[in-house]
A and B are shown apart, each in its own frame.
Chain A
Amino acid sequence: MSAGTVELDDIQGLLRFGYKHQTQASFLLLQIKDREAARAWLASVPVTSAVTAVPSPDTALQLALSREGLQALGVADDIVNAFSPEFVSGLGSDASQSRRLGDVGASAPERWQWGAGQKVPHVLVMLYAQPGRLAAFQQAIEAQCANGFDTLVSLATSEMDGIEPFGFVDGISQPKLDWERTRAVRDQEQLAYSNLSCLGEYLLGYPNEYGGYTDRPLLDPQRDPQALLPRAEDLPAQADLGRNGSYLVLRQLRQDVPGFWQFVNAQAGGDAAARERLAAAMVGRTRQGEPVVASTQDINAFDYQADPHGMRCPLGAHVRRANPRNADLPSGEPGLVSWLKRTLGLDAQAREQDRVASTRFHRMLRRGRAYGAPVSIDRALSGAASSFDTGLHFICLGANLARQFEFVQSAWLASTRFDGLRNESDPLLGTREPAVDGSPTNEFSLPQPEGPAQRLSGLPQFVTVLGGAYFFLPGIRALRYLASARSQGSP
């Protein structure tokens, strides 16, 4: 295998496509009840690959496994333990992790509907279908898995036309994967923010932004005598179980749409235009997706360099926290002297903009889907919170759970000190639990050019985590290997 090849036929389609034509989707969370039957099904289940299909397929199936799932299949312990530590320990089973991610209070795993305790899914089956095709497809798949699996939860999704339940266009900020592998494989400082991302940031077995290969299970070729698995690009003597696979995070986020709009409305004094402005400031985009920092033709091509103090887009706005869009080094004068000064931290102006840096190592490929019935703003303003059950089945893909999902969730979204802020966490996702020293976290600041920042306080919790799990989304050959008896043998 030469460097430069990408085996699209071995990669699950979700890494390349959002399946937007397949507007219907359903996520089945399964537990294995009969190992042999489960393995037989996994050995032959039709998984849709990343090869472009024309026309777009009527249905698509994607499949991922949790650590518990690998163990239930009987995969050897040393293989399981060679996955990343975060995947091995899972989501929602460790209090240190919950604290770090902000899964506390109403979002604590003890309260989850699924994903903790006995309710950890083994297998995630994602079904996508063109309008009207889902019911029959799902029925057929469920019939196929009935022998091997129990259904823990079946997560329905709803078509909201690309708009998430609060009413904002979703999924705009996505990295662009370097499928052509045009980016040089080396560790090189990037002086401008770019959406183009090395494949290895999302796919195991390919070089990442550091020019290195992320840890994944590499097997002695004796454990793969039929060469079911690809060989590792960096270590060709080893079989690469990770190659063409990715980690997948699934979290069910319940959104309190009435709570959000009623709070914003009250802060805006009931004025519709002020309400829109404030909501847009909290999100960092208008409901139509326009970034509030600047109007641009391409709504995913901008950064915050011209707004270092957050006068136009608050520093704590949701999309600014989730993707601060900065380069490896703050910008400055051209020339070696300026570069050296900035690198050594001796440039005071650069330091001011250096609290958050190197966004390229902390990107996520998001593939979430909304659920529940859409709630119009008018209904949200008059309705009670409990009367609506809607939210997001958040899904993201990445090769490094710690550096991507967990970092963004903890150091950027949940942090009360992001970019020098205080007393606030993400305006949408924050749990509002007071800090350990008693200081509040339920504020939101809007820096003003004329005078002190405007500060909102008493933000309620708008989003509650109802469940979640980490999965491995294997390459298709790796899936067949995991389903075979070969993966069970000890070395």
Chain B
Amino acid sequence: MLVAPLAAGREASLRALLATMNVTPGTADPHNPIVPFAAIERLHYARLVLLDDALQVDLDMLGVPRPRLPTVLSFMGDCDGPAHEVLAELVQRAGEGLRSIFAHCEGFVADTDLLAWMQAHDRPIAASYVNWVGRTVRQIKEESALQRVLSATISRVAVNSGAQARALHAELRSFVNTEARAGRLVLTPDAPTPFMWRVAKLAHLLLVPLVGLLFLPILIVLSPLLIYLLRTRETTDPEICPRPQAKALGELQVLEDIDVSNQYTAIGAVKPGLFRRWLVSVLLVLINYACRHVFTCGFLARVQTIHFARWVFIDDKTRVIFTSNYDGSHQGYMDDFINKVAWGLNLVFSNGVGWPRTRWLILGGARIEQDFKRYQRRHQVPTQVWYKAYPGLSLHDLTRNQRIREGLENTQMSDAQTLAWLRLL
């Protein structure tokens, strides 16, 4: 994720420029001449957001000094493979357009090396979630085409025996083979996971618990103190959940419910003091760990509708940006959060200034429905430009299409499995 402060007096012109990239407010034209996102084949999602420091006003309520922060532009994307390769591709295919955008940022001049500048402004991701690790844009598009063809082709008659189900499966297989030979369907085989990527993942899998083990004795010794510090803060930290302005709410809603997926961008200040700073840092390491090793195939705890999500620290860890791409309506997304994973939300966000009161880090908080809903809307920021590579497809569609393809290629299915596969179509 790239974060760069705007040059003084350039905000209005940047907003106007970003608006020209959209086909409807907030939704990017995939082929817009500034950044033709669709030309970057490995890009799932991308967004451009302006983040100001308006919410820092809450620090006044805490009685801590409020540093004035410049408005920043953030550019982020979710891609297959290493980010630096996709950045290089962006520079190659949209160099001129990106220059026209970043020319609004501080320190960007005509002879700036674009790639080097972008890399220099890249911020490390504190934690990131990917719904299905390894599912590429190409795979998604090919499997969607396969599903459409198969669903249109299949004869919808009752299947009376296992033999008949297998015959239907074989028939569809040969049909797909014919289509593939004619070039009407493409099913690229899975690329092997790069060796180094697997090594890195294994190292991460082992190292984090090892480091944890190292600190465990200290944590155990300190636990009464830590619990005391947590509980005193939890009972006294001010809750700041006023109702968002109607105008601000309208500016968010106009961007939503165009596609089956929506975007969410929010920003907030970390509660002042070392305790919260360290706590949120450690928790994000743990969440990142869980996302990398546990929640890798279709679900983040009970939530199955988040495509990508990430947490990024900015301004020397005094603020956190959270972004996600999710299926369904905003109201549905928030109700899912409250009803299914309020505990997980509380873990991280209760370290943010003003969060509804929690108990023992996971209870209360987001379960205080009305406070939480006002809080999250107030902290949400309109996403100026949002791109999705596969409009019209939800995560349920992606997973189903993946299973359709797997089943098609599997010639060893039992009768029951074959029948279940036919029902997917």
Contact = CB atoms under 8 A, between A and B. Distances in A.
A215 B121 CA distance: 42
A454 interface: yes
Contacts of A85: 243, 246, 249
A95 B397 CA distance: 28
A96 B157 CA distance: 41
A150 interface: no
A436 B335 contact: no
Contacts of B133: none
Interface in A436-491: 436-439, 447-448, 450-455
B391 interface: yes
Contact of B303 (A208, A212, A345, A361): A345
A276 interface: no
B253 interface: yes
Contact of B257 (A100, A343, A357): A100
Contacts of B293: none
B293 to A, nearest CB: 13
B302 A351 contact: yes
A295 B332 CA distance: 31
A345 B300 contact: yes
A436 B392 contact: yes
Interface in B287-314: 294-295, 298-304
B156 A453 contact: yes
A176 interface: no
Interface stretch (A46-54, A368-376, A404-412): A404-412
Nearest to B24: A436
A437 B392 contact: yes
A355 B338 CA distance: 14
B254 A96 contact: yes
Contacts of A447: 423
Nearest to B299: A345
A213 B369 CA distance: 9
A96 B250 contact: yes
B328 A415 contact: yes
A344 B301 contact: yes
Contact of A436 (B160, B370, B391): B391
Contact of B158 (A354, A362, A448): A448
Contact of B392 (A210, A435, A448, A454): A435
A212 B368 CA distance: 7
Given A403-B331, A420-B396, A435-B260, A452 B299 contact: no
A355 B159 contact: no
A351 B340 CA distance: 11
A93 B298 CA distance: 38
A354 B304 contact: yes
A212 B369 contact: yes
A183 interface: no
Contacts of B370: 212-215
Given A212-B369, A406-B331, A452-B156, A99 B423 contact: no
Contacts of B397: 417, 422
Nearest to B303: A345
Contacts of A210: 338, 367-369
Contacts of B329: 100, 407, 410-411, 415
A455 B155 CA distance: 11
Contacts of B40: none
A112 B258 CA distance: 23
- By size class, the interface of chain B is 35 or more
Interface in B341-378: 367-370, 373
B425 interface: yes
A215 B241 CA distance: 12
Contacts of A454: 156
Contacts of B159: 450-451
A395 interface: no
A351 B336 CA distance: 13
B132 to A, nearest CB: 14
B299 A436 contact: no
A323 to B, nearest CB: 15
Interface string B308-328: 000000000000000000011
B224 to A, nearest CB: 26
Interface in A98-137: 99-100
Contact of B423 (A346, A417, A438, A452): A452
A31 interface: no
A106 to B, nearest CB: 19
A138 interface: no
A357 B339 contact: yes
Contact of A451 (B158, B294, B328): B158
Contacts of B154: 452
A187 interface: yes
A35 interface: no
A358 B423 contact: no
Interface in A348-364: 351, 354-355, 357-358, 361-362
A402 B333 CA distance: 13
Contacts of B336: 357
Contacts of A357: 302, 336, 339-340
B396 A417 contact: yes
A403 B422 contact: no
Contacts of A450: 158-160, 419
A210 B364 CA distance: 10
Nearest to A435: B392
Contacts of B304: 345, 351, 354-355
B165 interface: yes
Interface in B111-160: 154, 156-160
Contacts of A358: 335, 339-340
B394 interface: yes
Nearest to A438: B392
A89 B246 contact: yes
A407 B331 contact: yes
B11 interface: no
B422 A451 contact: yes
A60 B291 CA distance: 59
A96 B392 contact: no
A210 B397 CA distance: 32
A26 interface: no
A410 B249 contact: no
Given A94-B250, A96-B250, A451-B423, A361 B396 contact: no
A362 B335 CA distance: 10
B259 interface: yes
A100 B302 CA distance: 25
B338 to A, nearest CB: 8
Contacts of A415: 328-329
Contacts of A407: 329, 331-332, 335
Contacts of A448: 158, 423
Interface string A232-252: 000000000000000000000
Contacts of B396: 355, 417, 420
Nearest to A448: B158
B256 interface: yes
Most buried by B among A97, A213, A420: A420
26 contacts: A81-B246, A95-B254, A96-B254, A96-B256, A97-B253, A100-B329, A210-B367, A210-B368, A343-B302, A345-B299, A351-B298, A351-B299, A357-B336, A357-B339, A407-B329, A407-B331, A417-B327, A420-B400, A435-B392, A436-B258, A436-B392, A450-B419, A451-B157, A451-B423, A452-B422, A452-B423
- 10 smallest beta-carbon distances between A and B, as pairs: A437-B392, A451-B159, A96-B253, A411-B332, A358-B339, A345-B301, A345-B302, A450-B158, A420-B396, A437-B391
Given A100-B257, A452-B156, 5 more contacts: A403-B369, A410-B331, A420-B396, A451-B422, A453-B425
